[in-house]
Structure 1
C-alpha cells in the first residue's frame, strides 16, 4: 500500500456471535469504517441478530466444517463452560477443538489476521484444567502461520446474559454483588470487565497492523470501548 493511501476495506469472519463477547463484537465490526463485509458462522438461527447490508450469515455444523469463505480477518469468540458442556472432554472439544478448526480453515482460505477470546490465566502448563485447555489452544493456534494473532485474556466478564437467552452464571452474579461497592479499588488486572471492552480491544489490535502474537491483558482492555 502506497504511503498516504487509505487501506483497502477488509472482510471479517466471526465465529461465536451469540455469546457475550461475540454479541458485542458483531455491531462493532459492522460499524467499523475499515470493514466492508462480515461473515458470521452460526449453529442455528439467531433472532437477535438483525439484517445489515454488510452482514452475511452462514448456518453451519461446527462438527463437520470443511471450508470457509475467503476473508482478511478472523474473530473467534467460541466457548462454553464445563458445567454447560457436561464434561471436561466436551468442554475441550469446544474451547480447543472448535476454535482450532475455525482458525485452521480460515487460514487455509487466506486469512492473515486472527483475534480470539481466551481467558485470564491461560497456560498450557497450568494444573487448572480450564486454564490448561486455554493455554494449549493459544499455543496450537499460534502455530498456524497467521501474520498477526491477538488473544484477549479477560477476567470475569460483565454483560447482560439474559438478553442473549443465556442463563445467569451464579459465580458472576455473586462476584459482582460482592465487588460492586469496592470496584474502583480492585486492581485492573482482575477487575470484572465489560464484554464491549474486550470486543473493542480485539478489533483495535487486529486493525493496528502489528505482526506477531499479542496477548491482551484484562487491565489493558479496561475502558477500550467508548461509552
Structure 2
C-alpha cells in the first residue's frame, strides 16, 4: 500500500522545507497552494488555487484517503492578511476546513504547525487563534494529531520586517545562548525535519509494533524539536 501525504502551506517558511523531507518518505505527495513550490519532483501532484475557499472542490479530485497523512504549515499575520477577520479566516478558517475535508476522506493522521505561545486566554490575537485552531482540529478526533509549537522561526520571512530584525539580533548572540532554553529560536528547516521525523516514527510504530503508538494528541514543543534535530 503506497503512502501518501497531502500538504497545505507548502510555499511558506516551514512548508518549503517540509515537502523536501516528505518526498523522501511518501510515494505520492499532494500539494495544494496558490503558486508552485520551488521544490518539485516526480512524486508530487500539484493543485493550484487562487482562493482556499475552493478547497472542497479541490478535494473532490485529490484522492486523499486513509493511507494519506495530512500536513498543514498554512499561516499568515494580521499585517499580511490586512485585518483581524482576514487573519482568522486563514489561520483558523482554512486550516479547520482543510482538516475537516481530510477527516471526511478517512485521513487518520494530521500534523499541524502551530506556535509556542498558543493560548486560548492570550491577550494577543495571533496566540488565541493558534490555540482555537488546535482545539477545533483536536475535536475532529483524528486517530493521531501531532501539533508542533516552535518559537521564533529563523529564515527569510517575506513581508515580516520585525521578525527579520529579531533574527538578526539573535544571530549576534546565538553562540552564547543554550538550546535548552524554551524560547530559543529554531530554523524553519529544523522544524520541517522534526515534522518529518515524527511522521516516520508514527508510521513505524503502527507498522512494526516495535513501540507503543503515540497518544491521540501529541504536542511537540520547541525544546523537543531542537533536541531531536541537533547535529551529533
| TM-score, scaled relative to structure 1 | 0.86
Is 1:64 paired with 2:54?
yes
Greater percentage in helix: 2
* Shift in Å, 1:226: 6.8
Secondary structure of the residue that 2:137 maps to in structure 1?
Answer: helix
* Shift in Å, 1:135: 0.4
List per-residue Cα deviations over 1:116-161 (Å, max 9, x = no partner): 1101110112222111110000000001120001111111111134
CA distance in structure 1 between the aligned counterparts of 2:54 and 2:91, rounded to whole angstroms: 16
* Shift in Å, 1:215: 1.1
Asked if 2 retains the 8 angstrom alpha-carbon contact of 1:113 and 1:146, the reply is yes
CA distance in structure 2 between the aligned counterparts of 1:188 and 1:22, rounded to whole angstroms: 25
List per-residue Cα deviations over 1:70-118 (Å, max 9, x = no partner): 1420000110000010111110000000000001101111111000110
Match of 2:223 among 216, 219, 226: 219
CA shift in 2, pair 1:31/1:47, >3 Å: closer
Is 1:176 paired with 2:180?
no
CA shift in 2, pair 1:79/1:108, >3 Å: same
Asked if 2 retains the 8 angstrom alpha-carbon contact of 1:158 and 1:194, the reply is yes
Asked if 2 retains the 8 angstrom alpha-carbon contact of 1:69 and 1:106, the reply is no
CA distance in structure 2 between the aligned counterparts of 1:84 and 1:38, rounded to whole angstroms: 28
Secondary structure of the residue that 1:73 maps to in structure 2?
Answer: strand
| TM-score, scaled relative to structure 2 | 0.84
Alignment of 1:88-127 (within 5 A): 88-127=84-123
Please give the root-mean-square deviation of Cα atoms over the aligned residues, in Å.
1.8
Structure 1: 5+ residue stretches without partners: 1-7
